[in-house]
């Protein structure tokens, strides 16, 4: 018998209100770049990229 996944029961319209932002950040010590990932609401994208 198949099991239902709990994630399918949640509101799918709420997931469309977020975006994943990936920023390249340069380390001051080594000079190497690292990547920071953030989940940001669509309303705050411009503020998160500053």
Question: Is 35 or 15 the better-scoring residue by pLDDT?
Answer: 35
Reply yes or no on whether the pLDDT at 35 is more than 90: yes
Alpha-carbon distances of 13 from 10, 16, 27, 30, 36, rounded to whole Å: 9, 6, 37, 42, 26
- pLDDT tens column, 12-25: 666 578 889 999 99
Q: What global pTM score does this model have?
A: 0.54
Task: State phi, psi for 8 to the nearest 5 degrees.
Answer: -75, -15
The percent of residues in the chain predicted with pLDDT above 70, rounded, is 70
Average pLDDT, the chain: 81
Torsion 39-45-49-50 (CA) sign: negative
Nearby residues of 48 by Cβ (< 8 Å), 6 or more positions away:
21, 38, 40
Spatial separation of the C-alpha atoms in residues 26 and 18, rounded to whole Å? 25
| Predicted local distance difference test score (pLDDT) of residue 48 | 84
């Amino acid at each position: 018998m198949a099991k239902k996944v709990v994630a399918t029961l949640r509101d799918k319209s709420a997931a469309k209100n977020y975006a994943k932002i990936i920023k390249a950040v340069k380390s001051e010590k080594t000079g190497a770049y690292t990547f920071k990932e953030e989940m940001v609401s669509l309303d705050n994208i411009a503020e998160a990229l500053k």
